[in-house]
Amino acid sequence: MPAKVHIKDIWKGICELFYPALCLGCNRSLRGHEKVLCLSCQMQLPITSYHHQPENQTAILFSGRFRFQAATSFAYFTKDGLLQLLLHELKYKGRKKVGIYMGTLFGYELQQTNWVRTVDCIIPVPLHAKKQQARGFNQSECIAYGLSSVLQLPVLKHHVYRCKNTDSQTRKTRSQRLENMNEAFAIKDAASLEGKHVLLVDDVLTTGATLESCALCLLQVKGLKISIATIGIAYCFC
Ligand SMILES: [Zn+2]
């Protein structure tokens, strides 16, 4: 029996004939099963493999700052590197599918760990409402949906919100950053989070002040446990 052909698929095929989807890394046409990056560029992503090492750089950065189960980052973020290019497409060109793609790849990595099996839900670090309105979306949410598609976990995007629109963190000292982030987050419907293991997701880890502030807010919920997952980790901490 011949396979059913959908008009949608024919139209997609025609569009791709005239406007083939290109790899964001090398600009070559993508093959049928490839998304965002061709296989060769995907293999060049500077993956950390931190999920196999409990004492990794992400975990070390948060050690002693708050209580967590596991902390990991997917790939190294370097200036002009492939990950910077992908995150730029996501954040500043609004290509949400790039975020979903990265989250999906990360999901396959995390699937290999035991700790991820005890996670109940995924929470993307929220943006302040004004910032989200200006950008049109939250990049961490796209990553969370990619992770969710592999790990089959719900994404909770209304349980934590940002109540303070913090200014730029880049020129501040660590204590100034923490002061700036103090009480930046608040929780809605805390009862539904009681006893849950939350995977807190963000795009790039630099100082960790935002994640720390969000985690400290969530940890006020009774019995809640936290693990941290970021797509990028800044290669050089300055
Ligand atoms: Zn490529």
Side-chain-facing half-sphere of 63: CA atoms under 13 Å: 8
Other CB atoms within 10 A of residue 149 CB: 14
Model confidence pLDDT, tens digit, residues 206-235: 989 999 999 999 999 999 999 999 999 997
Q: What is the DSSP letter of 128?
A: B
Q: How far is the CA of 122 from the centre of ligand 1 (A)?
A: 30
> Alpha-carbon distance 91 to 86, whole Å?
9
Structure tokens at 138: 């939250």
82 — pLDDT class (breaks 50, 70, 90): very high
Q: How far is the CA of 42 from the centre of ligand 1 (A)?
A: 7
Q: How far is the CA of 87 from the centre of ligand 1 (A)?
A: 16
- The least confident of 48-52, 156-160, 167-171, 196-200 is 167-171
Going 53 to 55 to 61 to 67, the CA torsion angle's sign is: positive
Q: How far is the CA of 83 from the centre of ligand 1 (A)?
A: 13
| Number of helical (H) and strand (E) elements in the chain, helices listed first | 9, 6
Q: How far is the CA of 95 from the centre of ligand 1 (A)?
A: 17
Q: How far is the CA of 131 from the centre of ligand 1 (A)?
A: 32
- Report pLDDT for 197: 98
Q: How far is the CA of 36 from the centre of ligand 1 (A)?
A: 9
Length of the chain: 238
Q: How far is the CA of 139 from the centre of ligand 1 (A)?
A: 23
Q: Is the pLDDT of residue 238 over 50?
A: no
Which residue spans within 34-157 are E strands per DSSP? 71-77, 121-124
Q: How far is the CA of 182 from the centre of ligand 1 (A)?
A: 42
∠197-186-232 over CA atoms, to 5°?
Answer: 60
Predicted TM-score (pTM) of the model is: 0.86
- Report pLDDT for 221: 96
Task: Select the highest-mean-pLDDT range: 33-42, 168-177, 181-190.
Answer: 33-42
Q: What is the DSSP letter of 31?
A: P
Average pLDDT over residues 150-171: 84
Q: How far is the CA of 134 from the centre of ligand 1 (A)?
A: 31
Asked if residues 195 and 165 have their Cβ atoms less than 8 Å apart, the reply is no
Asked if residues 46 and 80 have their Cβ atoms less than 8 Å apart, the reply is no
Q: Is the pLDDT of residue 178 over 70?
A: no
> Alpha-carbon distance 4 to 6, whole Å?
7
Q: How far is the CA of 195 from the centre of ligand 1 (A)?
A: 43
The residues, any chain, with a CB within 8 Å of residue 8's CB and separated by 6 or more, are none
Q: How far is the CA of 82 from the centre of ligand 1 (A)?
A: 10
Structure tokens at 196: 């849950």
Q: How far is the CA of 235 from the centre of ligand 1 (A)?
A: 22
- Report pLDDT for 49: 92
Mean pLDDT of the chain: 89
Model confidence pLDDT, tens digit, residues 95-143: 999 999 999 999 999 999 999 999 999 999 999 888 888 889 999 999 9
> Alpha-carbon distance 114 to 238, whole Å?
33
Asked if residues 74 and 109 have their Cβ atoms less than 8 Å apart, the reply is yes
Quick one: what percent of the chain has pLDDT higher than 70? Answer: 85
> Alpha-carbon distance 200 to 207, whole Å?
16
Q: How far is the CA of 30 from the centre of ligand 1 (A)?
A: 8
Buried b (16+ CB within 10 A) or exposed e, 93-129: eebbebbbbbbbbbbebbeeeeebeebebbbbbbbbe
Q: How far is the CA of 158 from the centre of ligand 1 (A)?
A: 36
Q: How far is the CA of 22 from the centre of ligand 1 (A)?
A: 8
